[in-house]
Amino acid sequence: MKVTYWSDYACPFCYIGETNLKKALEEACPGEDNSFEMKAFELHPEAPKEGTAMTLAEAAAKRGTTPDAIMQRLSGIMTMAKEAGLDYKYEKMLSCNTVDAHRLTKFASEKGAELSEAMTERLYKAYFIEQQLVSDHQILADLAAEVGLDRAEVLDFLATDKYEMDVRLDEREASRYGIHSVPCFVFEDYYAVNGAMSKDQFVELIGRMKEDIEKRRAEELMKKAQANAGMACGPDGCEPVE
């Protein structure tokens, strides 16, 4: 199954949703050739490249709520993450600009789908589990080298603005499609699902989609057959097919 999804490395639900979806596809589509294409969606394009650690009080003031409310929300996110097998550590997380991380993902995809997927997973883990600064070029180059990319080549690439326009085009495409929050998953260029789900919810959803896809393909095949109809024979004789 083909999956295109808009995501940001600073979005906790994106990592959770992507992790659960991949597990669901392994269960619901065993042996099938599943493909993933990540499209960029910066939640905070104005964020500085220097990492900042926001206190509960600062986060509460920014959102017009209380530190207790923020802590309750973070606890809920960490519980969801743990259920997905991810050990989030919000207390040491560094908020930063993610455009270079998205550019690096585009660079990796140029080298192949497997490298692109590996780079995506490594960046998510670096941000949410290891609290690494994914806007720092040296750190990005180290992470890229871990998944098999050439470190020196990555550093040279990051010193340019290559793929920045591709990141902007992804975001414009999201806006054109009415996507204003992430994660947003699009299956087979047809079915859009906004938000993270549990693995079991994804399995159920994929099952329903596969049934609908097969029905839609059968209807399209019949329409094509009728459009190209000629002479045929049936129990009542031979005549043009209507």
Residue whose token pair is 């399209």: 220
AA letter at 92: K
The per-residue DSSP string of 91-109 comes to: GG--B---HHHHHHHHHHH
The predicted pLDDT at position 189 comes to: 86
Strand partners, 193: 185
Confidence of residue 31 (pLDDT cuts 50, 70, 90): confident
Which range (58-67, 180-189, 198-207) has the least confidence? 58-67
56 pLDDT more than 60: yes
Question: Percentage of the chain surpassing pLDDT 70?
Answer: 91
More confidently predicted of 225 and 117: 117
Among 3.40.30.10, 3.40.47.10, 3.80.10.10, 3.40.190.80, what is the CATH number of 2-53+93-206?
3.40.30.10
Q: What is the pLDDT of residue 11?
A: 94
Overall average pLDDT of the 46-62 stretch: 79
- H/E stretch holding 37 reads strand 35-40
User: Is 26:36 a contact under the CB 8 Å cutoff?
Assistant: no
Give the domain ranges of the chain: 2-53+93-206
Q: What is the pLDDT of residues 203-235, one digit of tens each?
A: 999 999 888 878 877 777 767 666 665 555 655
What is the pLDDT, as a whole number, of residue 8?
Answer: 97
**Choice among 8-17, 77-86, 210-219 with the minimum mean pLDDT:** 210-219
**% of the chain at pLDDT higher than 90:** 64
Average pLDDT, the chain: 89
Task: Look at the block and give the residue holding tokens 């050439």.
Answer: 150
